Chains A and B, each alone.
Chain A
Amino acid sequence: MRMRSNVLTVMKKELRRFFGDRRMVLTMLLPGLLIFVLYSVMGDTLVKGMMTPEDYVYTVTAEHMPASVQAMLDGADLPLTVSAAPGGDADAVREAVREGTVDLYVVFPPDFDSAVAVYDPQSGTPAPEVRIYYNSSSSQSSGAYSVMTSLLDSYESALANRFDINRSTDTAFDLATPEDTTGMFLSMLMPMLLLMLLFSGCMAVAPESIAGEKERGTLATLLVTPLRRSELAFGKIAALSLVAMVSGTWSFLGVMLSLPKLMGGEEAGLVDTGMYGVADYACLLAVILSTILVFVSLISVLSALARSVKEASGMVTPLMILVMLVSFGGMLFPNAQAGTLGYLIPVYNSAQCISGIFSLSYQPVEILLTLLSNAALTALLVLLLARLFNSEKVMFKR
């Protein structure tokens, strides 16, 4: 009985501690609120922009299109536009699929309908084969492949398996190159991985350096020297960025070096990080650096507002969740096409740039806009931090 009473007493005290502190309650509720806002308000718009549009019509080039399949296509009202292949130029069509100007290339055997009609599954001879060439690194091509195979699968079942789809083992039907595969894989994975690594690096140093110094009284010692507040803000952010940069680069190297082995893709040719050139790595480095500056500045401002490292960590948590959600967007929707203005939105622009760099589909103007936007935000945050250092309410509140 006594024990239960003590447990209740402790519980009451803990709950009073949590719910009596407005900041703590806010920290507790904010993540859910952020997710709600992101998913319900922004999510719909973002997803619409990121996925293959609903009204998208797949472009399919077919060779020897049989009347039976054409009739099925006509009756099924599928989002496909089928055109006949230019005679004798199969390589050109395959190249078009690889480049994305054509989504699918379907090759039927000549006189497919007759061959299927006379084929005896018990004969032991190979069935007529439909060859479908696609590019797995393109969502449009993958979508078209899915629509076409499901149509042909149902036809094949109806005919008691009198033909095969992509039976040949000596032919590469997936036209994606190792570079395409690597690009797609890394462009999905790296925005989330890199941004989280960078954020963790910044979070490990900034609250300690700002809120920690404030909590221990060592920041006030600096404030009674002739040091200008702007110098203090700039010096701290520059040093913290360097530390976070070392941490981020080290983690990045670890990921890049271990990735091929981790995915078992080195031998299989799935992951080939050698496809990126000096310019790609330079762009990546510039984006990483500017992103670190944004993260460090944001965390520093929040840390200056906090009274202790613990409080700063609580205040930074919602920001971390926001970064995670934006990063996950890049992982879930690798082919997202952000408009030019999208590259002015901090964090989102970094995720898009990292994704673009790894899929080798970025434009210099996108990198430039990202760097400018991040530099402008960092400058504003440094000024804000200097003002906070100058604010007696912020620096000396209890």
Chain B
Amino acid sequence: MEPILTASHLKKTFTLSQKQQKLEKSGSRVKVAVDDLSFTAYRGEIFGLLGPNGAGKTTTLRMIATLIRPDSGDVSVGGVSVLKDPATVRNRIGFLTSELKLEDFFTPDYLFGFFASLHGVTPEVAAARKAELFSRFGIDRFAQVKVANLSTGMKQKVSLVISVVHDPDIIIFDEPTNGLDVLTAKVVTDFLEELRSRGKTVILSTHIFSLAEKLCDRVGIIIDGKMIQCDTLEAVQAGESLEERFFTLYRDCVGEEA
């Protein structure tokens, strides 16, 4: 297996305001969101980051996507450091989270061209790719409709398509099926499997164990910013369901029921 993404000893802390300290019930002004976290993702696999809300999954993905800088540690994406050359890293990954939105005013057609241009995709390649992806997701019928007038599911499909406009080798999805109806969720999961079959690497974060069991080749379980276990799905399950295994690990780690 060929490693394509290596996260090494990532650490990220945030300074808490007094209000946040009260919310977190913390006496400390500093919250450690990610603590010495390491893992490797290989070419052609779906790697899942599992953990409860606030465990550090999104922070980890943001560090990989170069949106935030780690306090220490580094991530190598195809041999390129997120600290040293973030622009190149951004061109090698596709990143999609529910927090990233598309401008309502524009049409999918315009936005595809806009983001293709930002990624340096030539107009000819972009046109061919747009035709393929729009047809694949049924967006072609809505290509000239403003995003504001699209259904939630169609908006998510457009976001998905635009996140892979430059045909990246690594696709990072934060909670990819959150808020989607079953039909759109199926389209998304099918697409992730298709990407894997084409040799792409997918890194996704989720707290839905069934989704991880269905899709992931390998998983990493994060609790309180720490990578508790990282291995193949079968090895992590250790004969249990992923959900049961997670609760066992959580009890061992935190010392209380989840």
A interface residues (Cβ-Cβ under 8 A, vs B):
213, 216-218, 220-228, 392, 395-396
Contact = CB atoms under 8 A, between A and B. Distances in A.
A191 to B, nearest CB: 35
A228 B101 contact: no
B100 A220 contact: yes
A222 B162 CA distance: 11
Contact of B68 (A216, A225, A226, A396): A396
Interface of B: 62, 65-69, 87-88, 90-91, 93, 95, 99-104, 115, 118-120
A224 B102 contact: no
B67 A228 contact: no
A225 B118 contact: yes
A293 to B, nearest CB: 24
A136 B68 CA distance: 64
Q: Is the interface of A mostly helix, strand, loop or mixed?
A: helix
B39 to A, nearest CB: 20
B68 A224 contact: no
A106 B103 CA distance: 71
B69 A217 contact: no
Q: Is the interface of B mostly helix, strand, loop or mixed?
A: loop
Residue from B69, B91, B99, B103 whose CB has the most chain A CB atoms within 10 Å: B103
10 closest A-B pairs by beta carbon, nearest first, are A217-B101, A392-B68, A225-B118, A226-B91, A221-B100, A224-B95, A226-B87, A226-B90, A218-B103, A218-B101
B112 to A, nearest CB: 13
A213 B100 CA distance: 10
Residue from B62, B88, B91, B100 whose CB has the most chain A CB atoms within 10 Å: B100
A217 B99 CA distance: 6
A224 B93 CA distance: 9
Contacts of A225: 90, 115, 118-119
Nearest to A222: B118
A152 to B, nearest CB: 70
Contacts of B93: 224
Contacts of B68: 392, 396
Contacts of A227: 118
Nearest to A216: B101
Contacts of B115: 225
B120 A223 contact: no
B102 A218 contact: yes
Given A225-B115, A226-B90, A396 B102 contact: no
